[in-house]
Amino acid sequence: MQMNTMTCKQLGGACDKEFKANTFEEIAEQSKKHGMEMYQKGDKPHIEAMGKMKDLMQKPDAMKQWFEEKRKEFNTLPDQ
């Protein structure tokens, strides 16, 4: 089974924590959860990163484009 790895940073976050998943939806969910945890801990870089993502979410077209770019990135990662 194919497992791809992306870091928090690659997914619009703020650290080098790695997530592993089979699908982009899964990895996006993991990074979101992690982002929320760090946000609740009051981690400043993550709060800033989440602020940027929130801005992005105000623009559905930009958000969609970002999502598609990341999905492409995820799907072209070499098998681990």
Contact between 13 and Zn ion (CB under 5 A)? Answer: yes
Kindly tell me which of 45 and 69 has the beta carbon lying closer to Zn ion.
45
Smallest gap from Cβ 38 to Zn ion, in A, equals 6
Contact between 8 and Zn ion (CB under 5 A)? Answer: yes
CA angle 67, 33, 69 (to 5 degrees): 10
Contact between 50 and Zn ion (CB under 5 A)? Answer: no
DSSP β-ladder status, 4-7 and 18-21: antiparallel
> Binding pattern to Zn ion, positions 17-36, x when CB under 5 A?
x-------------------
Contact between 15 and Zn ion (CB under 5 A)? Answer: yes
29: DSSP letter = H
Number of residues that bind Zn ion (CB under 5 A): 4
Closest CA to 17 of 2, 37, 40: 37
Closest CA to 27 of 78, 75, 63: 75
